[in-house]
Amino acid sequence: MRVLVVGGTEFVSLHVVRALQREGHEVTVLNRGRRPERVPAGVRAIVADRTQHTALARALAGQGFDAVYDVAYAPTTGEDVAALLDALGPGLRHAVFVSTGRVYDHSLPLPLGEETPRSLYWGEYAKHKIEGEDALLERHRRRGLPITIVRPTHVYGPLNTRNNETFFFDRILRGRPVLVPGAGGWLRQFGHVEDLADAMTAMLGEPRAAGQAYNVTGEEVITQVGFVELVAEVVGRPVTLVSFDPLFLPRVPPGPVFGQNLVYDCHAVYATAKLRAELGLRPRYTLGAGLAQTWEWYRKEGLDRRPVDFATEDALLALIRS
Ligand X SMILES: NC(=O)c1ccc[n+]([C@@H]2O[C@H](COP(=O)([O-])OP(=O)(O)OC[C@H]3O[C@@H](n4cnc5c(N)ncnc54)[C@H](OP(=O)(O)O)[C@@H]3O)[C@@H](O)[C@H]2O)c1
Continuous H helices in 144-221: 165-173, 193-202
Distance CA 27, CA 16 (A): 10
Taking CB under 6 A as the rule, does residue 35 contact ligand X?
yes
| Site mask for ligand X (CB under 6 A), range 60-89, x = bound | -----------xxxx---------------
In angstroms, how far is CA 11 from the centroid of its own chain?
A: 8
258 contacts ligand X (rule: CB under 6 A)? no
Q: Which stretch binds ligand X (CB under 6 A): 1-9, 19-27, 61-69, 313-321?
A: 1-9
Q: At its nearest, how many Å lie between ligand X and the CB of residue 284?
A: 18
3-state secondary structure of 73: coil
Q: Shortest distance, CB of residue 232 to ligand X, whole angstroms?
A: 21
Number of residues that bind ligand X (CB under 6 A): 28
Site for ligand X, residues 97 to 116, rule: CB under 6 A: 98, 100
Rounded CA-CA distance 191/217 in Å is 4
283 contributes a contact to ligand X by CB under 6 A: no
Sort 29 into a burial class: Cβ within 10 Å, 0-12 / 13-18 / 19+.
buried
Helix H or strand E segment including 132: helix 123-143
Closest to ligand X by CB, 135 or 252 = 135
Q: How far is the CB of 254 from ligand X (least distance, A)?
A: 21
Residue 119 within binding range of ligand X, rule CB under 6 A: no
Binding to ligand X in span 212-231, by CB under 6 A: none
Only segment of 43-51, 202-210, 218-226, 301-309 that touches ligand X (CB under 6 A): 43-51
Amino acid in the structure at residue 181: P
Q: Please name the helix (run of DSSP H) or strand (run of DSSP E) that holds residue 225, with its range, or none.
A: helix 224-235
Q: Minimal distance in Å, beta carbon 67 to ligand X?
A: 16
Q: According to the binding rule CB under 6 A, does residue 58 interact with ligand X?
A: no
Residues in CB range of 310: below 8 A, 6 or more apart: 176
Distance CA 174, CA 35 (A): 31
The residue within the footprint of ligand X, chosen from 3, 4, 13, 112 (CB under 6 A), is: 13
Closest CA to 82 of 97, 67, 103: 97
Q: Is 31 in the site for ligand X (CB under 6 A)?
A: yes
Coil, helix or strand for 254?
coil
Q: How far is the CB of 16 from ligand X (least distance, A)?
A: 8
Find, among 44, 11, 50, the residue nearest to 29 by Cα. 44
Stretch that binds ligand X, among 31-39, 175-183, 228-236, 292-300 (CB under 6 A): 31-39
The helix/strand/coil state of 244 is strand
Residues that bind ligand X (CB under 6 A): 7-14, 31-35, 49-51, 71-74, 98, 100, 152-155, 161-162
